[in-house]
Structures are given as C-alpha cells and as structure tokens.
Amino acid sequence: MKALKIFTGIVLALGLTACGGDFGSRSLFGDSDATLQKPVVNSKNAARVALLVPLTGPGKIGEIGAALKQAGELAIFDAGGAEVVLIPLDTKGTAEGARAAAQQAVQEGAEIILGPLLSANVGPVAQQARAGNIPVLAFSSDRRVAGNGVYLLSFLPGQEISRVVNYAAGKGVQGFASLIPQSPYGNLVNTAFDQAVTARGGKVLSVEQYARNSKSAAKNIARLATFANSRRSGVEAILLPEGGSLLYDMAAMLEKRGLDKEKIRLLGTGLWDEPGLSAIRALHGGWYASPDPVAKAAFIARYKNAYNKNPLRIASLAYDGVSLASVLAASQKGQRYTVGQLTNPDGFDGVDGLFRLLRSGTNERALAVLELRPGGAVVVSPAPRRFNTPPSG
C-alpha cells in the first residue's frame, strides 16, 4: 500500500486530500498584504484540532511559536473544504502555561492536540490530554517524552545521523571523527553517531566536544584538524552537527587549519538545511541528511507568499501536523484519531516527505542525502518513496 497523502504538492496550490483532488483553481489568499481567507466549515461535526505553541515567552520562543501558528493556519486554508476547526492556544513557553492551554483545549472539545514545542512542557500537556483520551503530536525532539499517547512529529537527530553515516560508509568511508556541542542535543548526536558508525563497521577515531561559542570551538578545531591532517590518523569524514553563524565560523576555522577536503568529507545534520549555506566555500562537498527539498521549497514559497517572509525550518512540522489532522477528519468515519489511524504503517506523505508515527511515540522519516555545492545543495541520494520494512517501534 502507498502512504496516505496529506500533501499533493504545492504546485497544485497545496491541495490537501487523502486520495487526490485538486484545489489549484481556488484562491486562498485575500488582498495584497497576503491576508488569508478562512474557508467556511459547514459541518457541525467538524474536527476540533488544538495547536499548542509558545506565542509569548523569553527570547526567540515567541517567534518560533508564531511561525508554527502561521504554518498551521496555512494548512487549514490549503485544505479547502476540510471540516476542521483549528484552536491555537498559547503555552507561554512554560510548563504551567502548557498545562493551562491543554486544559482549555480539553474544555473546547479538542479531539487531537498538536504541540507543545518544548520537551519540559510535554508532560503537563499529556497529563491533561490522557484524561480526555486525546492523542498529542508534539514538536519536541526529545525521545524521552514519547509514548503513552504522545507522538513526536519532530526531526529526530538519530535518524539524520544514521542516514548520512550509512551513505558515507557506502562510499567507502570507514574512519570518522566529530565536533560535538556540549548540550543535550550534542549528547544525543554523540550517542547516535557512535552507534551508526559501529553498525557499519567503521571507527570513531576522535571526538571533540565544545562549548557553543567560537572561542571554545577554536581550540577543539585546532586539535582535531592537527590530528585529522596527520598522515596516519585514518580520518575520512568529520561530523559537524551545527547550524547558523557558529557553523559558518567553525567551517572557516577548519579551512584555515588546512583541512584537506579532497581526503576528508564534512558531514552534517538537518541543521545544515538553511538558505544560503552553499555560499560557505568551506562547506562545499559536505553531505547532510534532510527531507527531500522539492516539496519543502514549494512550501517555503507558499508561506512567503502568505506572510511576506521565509518560514523557520520547524514551521513545516505544524503544517504537516494540521494537514494530517485535516485529512483524517475528512477520510475517517467515527473516531478520527485512533492509534491505528495515527500509526498507519505505510505512513503519510507531507511537505517534509514520507514519515510514519510509531506506537512507541517516536517516528520514522524517509530522508535524502544532499551535497553542498557552489550553486546550492544537490540531492545525491534520494529519499525512499515508501517504507519497505515493518515499523521499528
């Protein structure tokens, strides 16, 4: 069987259907300021979908929450006639705020909850949701909060690491090294990297863990570059699971230290999936795992047309989550969000490609491997079109 399509392609104006359907001729936008025109929900039996995101909170948390909310609303508009009522609620980026938002979601009759974002907020939301037998599709990447009614929609670093290491090993790479941030994310990456390399019969020859600032990273890079450039090191690839300005700085430091990119390949994670990275010469030739970029590029264009700015990378999770809820609401009779429906072994096809939710609460994603080149990232190993093995959990 094929995966249930929750995304038929933004080239068809993001027509959302379970088995096809084209809403391409329908205008989903209003005037020149890109105000969205909300579709009319006719059915009194419309599914009520709660979206719990941090619309207020410290630092950039509110910006992330706003992007998730906007992507979720875009999915509703693109679903055309789907009978779904979206209920956005502010978690305020705190456990107490998340608990209060979940309570309100239950009171307003939510059948499924999308969010929250932060792992520390998942527990309070799940506690409220379980009382109402409501599934939770969280955006956290912390596997520890998954299970018992909580499913993760997020990008899990272990899958990205496994994919890029498998590809590198398939190209003959056996000697690996890594630059790992000192953070919970870095700990997850370090464990996944060691497991992936060992599974392919390779060796991790050096691990440098750095505090997340350029001054600290410079010392680690100096040590690793000296070792990797030595004649007998055996290092053929270096994992650099970083993003943003720090990634640019670290790549430049490696280049300055004379890292031989003809012999040593840089490897990345989904954090490399950001616009403009191909302008960084030091990263050219590097490989990283990410969802297939074709549908994602169309989503980015669609979001920008709606809101006059590019979406944050995580925003697509809310789009796919709301799309999934919309499609199941339109295609299922009776209870719409059962364990069996959510954990369809064939998975779902969204803007981030093929994915499936597992009964353990984690997920599996079909990822591509891309290579950074001067003209942009190029797919060197396409994402699988279907899952050919039973669910792993």
Q: How far, in Å, are 35, 39, 197, 298, 325 from residue 81 at the CA level?
A: 18, 7, 47, 21, 13
> What's the pLDDT band for 346 if we cut at 50, 70, 90?
very high
Q: Do residues 87 and 102 make contact, with C-beta atoms less than 8 angstroms apart?
A: no
> What's the pLDDT band for 19 if we cut at 50, 70, 90?
very low
- Complete DSSP assignment for 148-167: TTEEE-SPPHHHHHHHHHHH
What is the rounded distance in angstroms from the CA atom of residue 69 to the CA atom of residue 328?
20
Decide which of 370 and 83 is more confident: 370
pLDDT of amino acid 178: 97
Digit-coded pLDDT (tens) for 292-345? 888 788 899 999 999 999 999 999 999 999 999 999 988 766 678 999 999 999
- The dotted CATH code for 157-290+370-381 is 3.40.50.2300
Q: What residues does each domain of the chain span?
A: 4-147+293-361, 157-290+370-381
In the chain, the percentage of residues whose pLDDT exceeds 70 is 89
pLDDT of amino acid 213: 82
Domain 4-147+293-361 belongs in CATH node 3.40.50.2300:
yes
Average model confidence (pLDDT) for the chain?
87
**Strand 84-90 to 112-114 pairing:** unpaired
24 pLDDT exceeds 60?
A: no
> What's the pLDDT band for 27 if we cut at 50, 70, 90?
very low
Q: Do residues 37 and 73 make contact, with C-beta atoms less than 8 angstroms apart?
A: no
68's tokens: 């998730």
Torsion, Cα of 379, 380, 383, 387 (10° steps): 170
One-letter amino acid of 15:
G
Average pLDDT over residues 16-35: 31
Phi and psi torsions of 124, nearest 5°: -60, -35
Of the listed ranges 75-89, 136-150, 286-300, the least confidently predicted one is: 75-89
Quote the Cα angle for 12-16-17, to 5°.
Answer: 115
pLDDT of amino acid 10: 43
Cα Rg, the chain, nearest whole Å: 21
pLDDT of amino acid 20: 31
pLDDT of amino acid 49: 96
Q: How far, in Å, are 133, 142, 347, 379 from residue 362 at the CA level?
A: 19, 9, 13, 26
Digit-coded pLDDT (tens) for 200-236? 999 999 999 999 888 889 999 999 999 999 989 999 9
pLDDT of amino acid 41: 53
pLDDT of amino acid 30: 30
Average pLDDT over residues 96-121: 97
Phi and psi torsions of 131, nearest 5°: -60, -30
Q: Do residues 301 and 316 make contact, with C-beta atoms less than 8 angstroms apart?
A: no
Q: How far, in Å, are 165, 241, 246, 253 from residue 215 at the CA level?
A: 28, 17, 10, 11
Same fold, 4-147+293-361 and 157-290+370-381: yes
pTM: 0.86
Average pLDDT over residues 162-191: 96
pLDDT of amino acid 81: 58
